Amino acid sequence: MSTRRYLVLHDHGMGGLWWWIHARSVREVRETFAEVEVVDDPAAVARAEGWTLDEVHADAQTLPAGLDELRAVRDRQKRLPGFGALADREVLYLRRMPDDDDPATYLLEVGADGRRTRQVEVTDGVAVRTDAEDWPLNPPLVDLLDSHLPNQEIDRAEFEQAWEAARWEDGR
């Protein structure tokens, strides 16, 4: 099977790393590198044509800095149960539990591209809902192939119940 050149982004919030990656499919790119987005917007691809980006094959032995780490993460994930189990979902509902950096619990509705569409944030018993209108930047938040994702899945009814009980962040 022949390869195609894809514009690939690892968005880390306030910036990102970009590459041209030759692969047989978008799925191959996503299965080879963790936390990346294949950018297919024609205007973005046209802009990137003028940039100086590393250009590599997905199966290359040596990769640019950053991309090599994303492949190593994906290689570790592939060995774990649950890898790719939720990858083909159009809509996914997740619960992200608090951690040392953030005391909030998040209930998320996520699209097939890994971006949030709706969110309920619960902190100290107070539930606040937000949606795409509230986020000036909305990079992919979820890597749908991540082997840990099945442990975070909740059903739609649970999400909808939390959504209805939450208040709008801006008081709408």
Each residue of 92-151: pLDDT tens digit?
999 999 888 899 999 999 999 999 999 999 999 999 999 988 888 888 889 999 999 999
Say if pTM beats, i.e. exceeds, 0.85: yes
Number of Cβ within 10 Å of residue 148's Cβ equals 11
Nearest by Cα to 151 from 70, 82, 91, 88: 82
